[in-house]
Structure 1
Amino acid sequence: MNLRVLVLINSAAVAISLSAVNYYFQHKWYDMMITFLVTLISSYIVFYYLIEKYIYSKIKLIYKLIHNLKLGRDLRDALGEHVTADPINDVEQEVKEWARLKKMEIDDLKKQEKFRRDFLSNISHEFKTPLFAIQGYIEALQDDDLEDKDLAHQFLNKASKNVDRLSYLIKDLDEISKLESGEIPINYTKFRINDLVKEVMDSLEFKASQHNIKMIFKQKYDEGIFVNADRQKIQQVLVNLIDNSFKYGKDGGSTAISIFTLHDQVLVEVTDDGIGIEEKFLPRLFERFFRTDTSRSRQIGGSGLGLAIVKHIIEAHQQTINVRSTEGLGSTFGFTLQKAKQSLPFPNIPALKS
């Protein structure tokens, strides 16, 4: 309701009351009308002045403050001062919306704080395990004074493996930090995803034989499928996913890579027939250092950051990654890429004879 209408209603109510009292005592219509008009005008002036000075101006100030805080200084200056025609009707909704957004921000901050605590706890544990192992082997070598050469050689090899694990941790942490901050740019190029899959499979063939796992490329298309993406980073995604299928696959099992063409995207899937993942763990699978089976993961090794890096690379391409799994049957990781348009060859035009 407009301020003037509100003041007019209140002034009319006062004027009617006073004119009714005047008519009750004097019984003169003329005096009653004069009383009504004088009271209406004077009440309107007094009420309007008081409300404008002590109430309405304060509400406008609060509304402007909320509006400025919501927009931010730079945007507000660009748009100019915004003053609503009727802040009384708008300020309640503005405050409610502002409170809702602030509550969402607080909830997000609480989630981030929990994530930070979990991350620090996990990274501390991940670093302590190889460090304590290295420390133990070095102390054992110092106590033995290198008298048993074979034992010393074994301890040195085990210490070297733990040093490698620390190196992987630091390298992956540095990479995921740069991916999150955008320091590592995405260099888009046009390439055949079929060829890249074959290259990765060739490079991992020896590792697959060590795990007694057969790799299968379910190529459904004779022609190459072109995508727009960072070839080197997508290669890393494929290596991480296929290597992960080796770690959690079964002896004598298989890993299948499939490609599907969608409308304007290409879907790449890596499927294993290994131990699978419990459904309750699927939402957290791409978190840093998250492991579904801690004891088995320690034996297998790795930094625990492989899937987190994969997720960041795919999201940096503005694409999606998902997982579906059945415990005891296997898992499928799928990610999308932007399909590239194939350039059409120019038709052969016969030369004109002169």
Structure 2
Amino acid sequence: MLTTSRGISLILALAISALTVAFLLLLDDATPTLLIVAGGISFSVSYILTNITLEFLVFKEISDIYSVLEKIQKKDYSNIPEKSDKLSISPLRRINTSINIYAQTKNKEIEALQKNAEFRREFIADISHELKTPIFAAQGYIHTLLDGAVDDKSVRLKFLKRAAKSLNALDKLVQDLLTLNQMESGVVKFHFETFDLKDLIHEVIEDLEHKAAKRDMLIRFFYDKEKSFKTVADKEKIFRVCQNLISNALKYNNDGGEVEVHLKTHKSQITVEVKDNGKGIPAEDLKRIFERFYRVEKSRSRERGGTGLGLAIVKHILEGHKSKISVSSTLGKGSIFSFELPLEKSPEKTVLKTLNSLFV
């Protein structure tokens, strides 16, 4: 009984009530009625106040502390209550808060480790499959030639070309992996320069026109001819971003489809939009398409080539430019990928702005 708040409150209330009655007995005009009333009131008030104080400031906090400590002992950091009452006058409450913060921190660390472990398993499985495909293909062609097909000139040339194609795909995969790893580790340096984004996109479209023609596709480029689209960025890497986005728009579009590239300016920003009228991307896949090796349609994507690293590289390149890639898609209607780069201010506008500020 003495280990509960009620038992302790009862003993303290009796002691306070007895002291109150004893003190009143010293008075000459103390009547039995007064003593009973005073004793009852002092007992009731003392019991209630003491019980509330012990229950909410001591026993409840101790119970919460034991509950959290038991979870920590069992290494179960889930469902730990969040407490941040740093201004509480109760030292037990502050101890409880500190323990909760520690437990929450450990829980986040464990979740991060679990996610990393899961990502590592998926990455190893993905890269094993991606490496295995071109290696086995090249290996099969070469072994076929070694088994006697090398004597047939037509077969020899055809198989050597296929083996070379598989090895080229393997080389591209390794190069993309190295590039992505260097970007994530900060090894790759960006070389910023001033260039016209309109001219760069024209170059990309010219490089991809033959690819579009093979599937009877059309690439349309929309921009205001009277505006300047000069920006300060890493020209080579932005070329790779535009090339990847337009190439993907062609790759995952329907035969005879169209790809639209829109170049717009708004205040101090240039917006690049790449739009296709293909099948679109399901909503559940939109958040994952920038992950390594993630493909919406794995079998069809591998048939059409690519390493599955293009969008991941695009994302890191744009992050290096303090920008980000955005995507919206509607099933059956197509997808829109967009990003922004800073618009370089022309010297004339800078001078005019300076003169206006001086004379205003």
TM-score, normalised via structure 2 length: 0.71
The match for 2:344 among 321, 328, 340 is 340
Structure 2 letter corresponding to 1:117:
R
Match of 2:51 in 1: none
Runs of 5+ unmatched residues, structure 1: 1-11, 30-83, 348-354
State the number of aligned residues: 289
1:321 maps onto 2:292 in alignment: no
Matches of 2:155 and 2:281, distance apart in 1: 39
Shift of 1:23: 5.1
Structure 2 letter corresponding to 1:254:
E
For 1:232-271, list aligned pairs within 5 A. Answer: 232-271=236-275
Alpha-carbon distance change, 316 to 14 in structure 1, aligned in 2, over 3 angstroms: farther
The match for 1:132 among 136, 139, 159 is 136
Q: Does 211-220 or 176-185 show the bigger shift?
A: 211-220
Shift of 1:213: 1.8
Conservation of the 8 A alpha-carbon contact between 2:212 and 2:218 = yes
Alpha-carbon distance change, 219 to 137 in structure 1, aligned in 2, over 3 angstroms: same
Matches of 2:108 and 2:304, distance apart in 1: 40
The match for 2:220 among 216, 219, 228 is 216
Matches of 1:343 and 1:14, distance apart in 2: 89
Runs of 5+ unmatched residues, structure 2: 1-11, 28-87, 353-360
Alpha-carbon distance change, 145 to 235 in structure 1, aligned in 2, over 3 angstroms: closer
The match for 1:307 among 311, 317, 333 is 311
1:294 maps onto 2:294 in alignment: no
- Alpha carbon RMSD of aligned pairs, Å? 3.2
1:171 maps onto 2:175 in alignment: yes
1:109 maps onto 2:136 in alignment: no
Structure 2 letter corresponding to 1:335:
F
Matches of 1:182 and 1:213, distance apart in 2: 38
State the Cα deviation string for residues 190-248 of structure 1 (Å, max 9, x = none): 33222221222223223322332211111135221232322211111001111111211
Shift of 1:338: 2.5
Shift of 1:14: 11
Alpha-carbon distance change, 310 to 90 in structure 1, aligned in 2, over 3 angstroms: same
For 1:141-180, list aligned pairs within 5 A. Answer: 141-144=145-148, 146-180=150-184
Matches of 1:221 and 1:293, distance apart in 2: 38
Conservation of the 8 A alpha-carbon contact between 2:149 and 2:156 = no
What fraction of aligned residue pairs are identical, expressed as a percent?
Answer: 40
TM-score, normalised via structure 1 length: 0.72
Matches of 1:130 and 1:201, distance apart in 2: 29
Shift of 1:85: 9.6
Matches of 1:319 and 1:244, distance apart in 2: 20
For 1:64-103, list aligned pairs within 5 A. Answer: 88-103=92-107
1:198 maps onto 2:202 in alignment: yes
